[in-house]
C-alpha cells in the first residue's frame, strides 16, 4: 500500500514544479482566543469533541442521515451537456479504499468542522488530479505568510507522514459555506450530552422508594443506619409494619422522571434543528414542532432532508471538484436517486417527465432502476435504492 502512494507522489512533484504557481489565501487566525486553542485539539468553542457529540443518539442519527444520504447518490462528470467518463477521481480516488469511505469522511468533516481535505496522489500528463486521498483534518497544517489585513497567504501544506511542505495545489481544500456544527452548536450539544449523562446516573443509582422521618429523639448515624436496615428487613418478611418514633412516606418516582424523557426529547429536537434534519426522521419529540413520519409524507421529508441538510455539502463538493478538473468540465450528484426509496413518488416523477417528453422511455425506466428493454422475468435487473 505504501508503494502505491510514494510512486505517484514523486511523479506528481515533477509535474507540479513545471506548473505555474498559484497564490491562495486563508482567513487570519485570531491568536490567544479560547476558540483557537480548543480548535487545534479538535474541540469546539465550548470544549465538546466530535466523539462526545456522536455519543448523543440524536446527533449520531443526524450524522448518519446526512452522510448516509450522500454516499447513496451517484456522481457524474459533464463536459457541457455531455456526460463523460467520471474517471478514478469520481469512482475510486484513493486506491487503498472505496469511494464511499472517501466521500463519507469528507462530508463528516464538512458537517462537524466546516472544512475537509484531499491529498493529491497522482496526476495525468496535463497535471489534472486523477487520484486523491481524504486526509483527516487534524493531519493537515497550512503554511501561511502574514501579509497584513484579514487574510494570510497560503504557501503550502504539512501533512502527517510526509516530510517537508507540499505545494498549494497538492491538497484539495473543501470549504463549506456553513459553519461547523462543533463551533456554532457546542452549547446545544453540551446540554444534550449532560442530559444523557444525568439519565445514565439516575438509571445506575438505586434511589430510595420511601423515606423514614424521625419524630422522636435525635439518632446518631449508626443508630439511624440500624433503624433503616431493620425496617428494610421487616418489609421483606412482613406485610404489616409497626413504627414508633418515625413516620414512613412512599416516594412516587416514574421511569419518565428517572430518564429525563421530556428534557432529552427537547434536546433531541434542538440537535435535529442544528443539523437542519427533519425532526420526525430521527424520532425526536413530536411536541418540538415535528410531524409524524408517515409513508404518505415520506417523499416530502426526504426532499426537505436533501434540500436543507444535504444540499450545502453536495454543492461544496461539486464546486471544489469541478475547479480541479479541466476547464469546461463539471461534477454533479444525482439527487433524484434518493427518491427511489419511495416507489410511489419515484414512479410519479418518472411518468411526469416521460409524459412531458422531457426524457425518453429508456431514461424514465433508468430512474426506477429498471433495464432499458424489458425481457423475461429472470433477466430483469434488480433496482437500486
How do the residues of the chain divide into helix, strand and coil, expressed in percent and rounded to 5?
50, 20, 30
d(CA 27, CA 196): 36
In a domain, 60, yes or no: no
In a domain, 267, yes or no: no
pLDDT at position 176 is 94
The residue from 252, 279, 311 where one domain ends is 252
Domain extent at residue 374: 342-385
Q: Which of 344, 317, 330 is nearest to 117 (CA)?
A: 317
In a domain, 361, yes or no: yes
What are the backbone dihedrals phi and psi of residue 373, each rounded to the nearest 5 degrees, phi first?
-120, 115
In a domain, 305, yes or no: no
Q: Which residues of 196-228 are buried (b: 16+ CB within 10 A; e: fewer)?
A: beebeeeeeeeeeeeebeeeeeeeeeeeeeebe
In a domain, 244, yes or no: yes
d(CA 120, CA 172): 7
The pLDDT confidence band at residue 48, using thresholds 50, 70 and 90, is confident
In a domain, 154, yes or no: no
Q: What is the per-residue pLDDT across 2-39, written as a single tens digit (0 to 9) for each?
A: 333 333 333 333 333 333 334 455 554 443 333 333 34
In a domain, 5, yes or no: no
In a domain, 182, yes or no: no
Residue 45: pLDDT over 70: no
Q: Specify the range with the lowest mean pLDDT, choosing from 96-100, 240-244, 341-345, 378-382.
A: 378-382
Q: How remote is the C-alpha of 268 from its chain's centroid? A: 15
The residue from 252, 284, 306 where one domain ends is 252
pLDDT at position 219 is 84
Q: How far is CA 142 from CA 51, 170, 174, 176, 247, in A?
A: 24, 12, 13, 17, 70
Q: Is the pTM of this model over 0.75?
A: no
d(CA 304, CA 290): 13
Residue 188 · residue 47 · CB < 8 Å: no
Provide the CB-side half-sphere exposure for 274 (13 A, CA). 30
Judged by phi (left if over 0) then psi (alpha if -120 to 50, else beta), residue 127 lies in: left
Residue 227: pLDDT over 70: yes
pLDDT at position 159 is 92
Provide the CB-side half-sphere exposure for 284 (13 A, CA). 30
Number of domains comprising the chain: 2
Reading the block at residue 60, the C-alpha cell is: 449520531
Q: What is the per-residue pLDDT across 246-256, written as a single tens digit (0 to 9) for each?
A: 887 776 666 66
pLDDT at position 96 is 94
Query: Pairing between strand 140-146 and 151-159?
Result: antiparallel
Angle at 168 between CA 175 and CA 5, to 5 degrees: 95
The residue from 199, 231, 252 where one domain ends is 252
Amino acid at each position: 500500500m505504501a508503494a502505491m502512494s510514494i510512486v505517484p507522489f514523486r511523479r506528481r512533484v515533477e509535474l507540479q514544479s513545471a506548473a505555474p504557481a498559484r497564490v491562495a489565501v486563508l482567513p487570519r487566525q485570531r491568536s490567544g482566543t479560547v476558540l483557537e486553542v480548543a480548535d487545534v485539539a479538535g474541540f469546539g468553542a465550548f470544549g465538546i469533541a466530535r466523539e462526545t457529540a456522536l455519543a448523543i443518539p440524536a446527533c449520531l442519527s443526524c450524522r448518519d442521515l446526512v452522510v448516509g444520504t450522500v454516499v447513496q447518490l451517484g456522481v457524474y462528470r459533464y463536459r457541457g451537456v455531455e456526460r463523460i467518463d467520471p474517471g478514478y477521481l469520481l469512482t475510486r480516488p484513493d486506491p487503498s479504499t472505496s469511494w464511499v469511505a472517501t466521500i463519507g469522511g469528507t462530508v463528516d468533516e464538512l458537517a462537524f468542522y466546516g472544512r475537509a481535505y484531499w491529498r493529491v496522489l497522482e496526476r495525468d500528463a496535463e497535471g489534472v488530479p486523477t487520484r486523491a486521498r481524504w486526509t483527516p483534518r487534524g493531519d493537515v497544517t497550512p503554511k501561511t505568510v502574514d501579509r497584513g489585513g484579514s487574510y494570510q497567504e497560503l504557501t503550502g501544506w504539512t501533512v502527517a507522514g510526509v516530510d517537508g511542505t507540499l505545494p498549494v495545489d497538492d491538497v484539495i481544500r473543501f470549504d463549506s459555506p456553513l459553519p461547523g456544527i462543533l463551533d456554532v452548536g457546542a452549547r446545544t450539544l453540551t446540554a444534550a450530552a449532560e442530559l444523557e449523562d444525568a439519565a445514565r446516573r439516575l438509571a445506575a443509582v438505586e434511589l430510595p422508594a420511601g423515606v423514614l422521618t424521625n419524630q422522636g429523639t435525635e439518632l446518631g448515624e449508626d443508630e439511624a443506619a440500624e433503624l433503616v436496615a431493620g425496617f428494610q428487613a421487616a418489609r421483606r418478611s412482613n406485610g404489616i409494619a409497626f413504627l414508633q418514633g418515625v413516620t414512613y412516606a412512599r416516594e412516587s418516582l416514574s421511569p419518565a422522571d428517572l430518564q429525563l424523557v421530556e428534557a432529552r426529547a427537547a434536546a433531541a429536537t434542538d440537535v435535529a434543528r442544528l443539523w437542519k434534519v427533519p425532526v420526525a426522521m430521527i424520532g425526536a419529540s413530536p411536541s418540538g414542532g415535528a410531524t409524524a413520519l408517515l409513508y404518505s409524507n415520506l417523499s416530502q421529508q426526504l426532499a426537505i432532508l436533501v434540500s436543507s441538510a444535504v444540499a450545502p455539502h453536495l454543492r461544496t463538493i461539486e464546486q471544489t471538484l469541478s475547479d480541479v478538473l479541466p476547464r469546461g468540465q463539471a461534477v454533479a450528484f444525482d439527487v433524484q436517486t434518493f427518491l427511489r426509496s419511495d416507489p410511489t413518488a419515484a414512479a410519479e416523477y418518472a411518468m411526469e417527465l416521460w409524459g412531458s417528453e422531457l426524457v425518453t422511455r429508456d431514461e424514465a425506466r433508468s430512474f426506477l432502476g429498471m433495464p432499458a428493454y424489458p425481457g423475461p422475468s429472470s433477466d430483469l435487473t434488480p433496482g437500486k435504492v
